[in-house]
Amino acid sequence: MVDRQKQAKLDAIAQVITDRAVDIELAKTCLNPVPGEGSANAALMLVGEAPGAREDKLGRPFVGASGKFLATMLTSIGLERKDVFITNIVKFRPPKNRDPNPSEIKACLPILYEQVTIIKPKLVVLLGRHATNVFFPGLKISETHGEVLKRSLHQGTQPVFQQMFLPLYHPAAALYNGSMRKILLQDFGKIPQILAIIK
Ligand code: URA
């Protein structure tokens, strides 16, 4: 698929989210839906949990304090936000930043699958325990952060495909914890090599 076709498909999905045409209460209570943004042709996709207050205000993912550190990590490997695709499992802010519940995750997951299916990134970085456990239930992030994992995915009637994932700690965990910051930067530093290996 050429980039323009991919972009048009991503835009169509973003429109569904922006129109709040998802059967989920959060779509009614949020200020602004947050579909995700970045390159339709990204080799790297980053998936967080759900929008926070600032994301909700601006309708953009990772634009608060966690987003600032995410941008720092991207810069550390020579990338910018525009080079990657950034989104969340849940596209609407849960009130008071509570964790999204299983039915909210279930309602939003097909959207994420579609985004992955269109972009076909080499690697999907799962930011934090919640994003990780959506794809790898029960997996302990403390034991598997920074390790590449593979899983088959499929969307509706589309063929099954193999997707590579990299679970990392959530950038928010590093905001007030220097050792966590170091671990995250170290894990993030593995990404260029991982991308170079994946065909
Ligand atoms: N935390 C997330 O998981 N996602 C965002 O977009 C912002 C903070």
Per-residue pLDDT of 157-198, as tens digits, reads 778 899 999 999 999 999 999 999 999 999 999 999 999 999
Least confident of 1-5, 12-16, 89-93: 1-5
Backbone angles phi, psi at 112, to 5 degrees: -65, -40
The domain total for the chain is: 1
Rounded distance from Cα 139 to ligand 1 centre (Å): 20
Question: What whole-number distance in Å separates Cα of residue 2 and Cα of residue 6?
Answer: 6
More confident: 2 or 113:
113
116 Ramachandran zone, left/alpha/beta (phi>0; psi -120 to 50): alpha
Residues constituting the chain: 199
Tens-digit pLDDT profile for residues 28-60:
999 999 999 999 999 999 999 999 999 999 999
Name the pairing type of β-strands 44-48 and 85-88: parallel
CB 180 within 8 A of CB 174: yes
Q: Which residues pair with 150 in a beta bridge?
A: 164
Closest among 90, 94, 88 to 29, alpha carbons compared: 94
Neighbours of 59 (CB within 10 A): 18
CATH code for the domain of 86: 3.40.470.10
Q: Is 2's pLDDT higher than 90?
A: no
Residue 10, pLDDT score? 97
Q: Which amino acid is at 190?
A: K
pTM over 0.75: yes
CA distances from 11 to 8, 67, 114, 154 (A): 5, 22, 12, 21
**What pLDDT was estimated at residue 76?**
98
Average pLDDT over every residue of 2-10:
93
For the CA of 128, the nearest atom of ligand 1: 3
| Ligand 1 neighbours (beta carbon < 6 A) | 48-52, 55, 61-62, 64, 66, 88
Q: Which of 88, 112, 170 to mutate to test the pocket of ligand 1 (most atoms within 8 A of CB)?
A: 88
> Which pLDDT value is given to residue 194?
98
Domain extent for 145: 4-197
